[in-house]
Copies of this chain bind each other. A is one copy, B any other.
Amino acid sequence: MTDVRTESGTRARTRRAILDAAVDVLTADPAASLGDIATAAGVGRTTVHRYFPERADLLAALSKSAWDQVTEATERARPAEGPAAAALDRLCQEYFDLGRVLMLVFNDPQQYATADWDACSPADQSLLDLVERGHEDGTIDPRLSPLWVQNVLWSMLYSAWQYAQDAQVSRHQALDMCLYSLRKTLRP
């Protein structure tokens, strides 16, 4: 009945509306109340509680949603194919498109850290593997450890999102800058 997968069409739709609104509102103000989220979703606060009994449940669902999106994006980028540097390029582009959803799990990781997320996720792992492959095939600077590359990739993405907001620059241009800089950094 309450199983997500066997939900009716309407229920699934309002559930999504709430989650989407939560992303919008919480990125703007991480301490926003459930009332704010409900309003943004065009929904009563009661309804929010119907779908997510406690605040933590909503946050967990949000975290899982983000996790799923990252996993899908990672698969789309086919990180194991071709030269490592090129694969990392694809990965970067895919992640960039996810946008705001990821700003959340960045800014307060401890908020959204659930059982799924805290451990080294498959997506994280495939990135680390990718970097090691790059060390071997000579397309990534061996002085840069996988963990450091991971850090730089994410923070560079963060920069790009910020840049697209602050400067009057298209998302495409911001991504270009990001890729250009990242390539220079990783180049052997």
Contact = CB atoms under 8 A, between A and B. Distances in A.
State the majority secondary structure of interface residues on A: helix
Contacts of A185: 181, 184-185
Contact of A31 (B31, B151, B167, B177): B31
Contacts of A184: 141, 184-185, 187
Interface residues of A, number: 30
Interface centre among A144, A145, A159 (most CB of B within 10 A): A159
Nearest to A108: B30
Of A145, A155, A180, most B-chain CB atoms within 10 Å: A155
Nearest to A174: B148
B167 A162 contact: no
B163 A151 contact: yes
A173 to B, nearest CB: 10
A145 to B, nearest CB: 8
A124 to B, nearest CB: 12
A166 interface: yes
A29 B110 CA distance: 9
Interface string A120-162: 0000000000000000000001011101100110111011101
A166 B181 contact: no
B144 A167 contact: no
Interface in A71-90: none
Contacts of A162: 151, 155
Contacts of A29: 110
A159 B166 contact: no
16 contacts: A29-B110, A30-B30, A31-B31, A141-B184, A144-B181, A145-B167, A147-B163, A148-B159, A151-B163, A151-B166, A152-B156, A152-B181, A154-B159, A155-B162, A181-B185, A185-B185
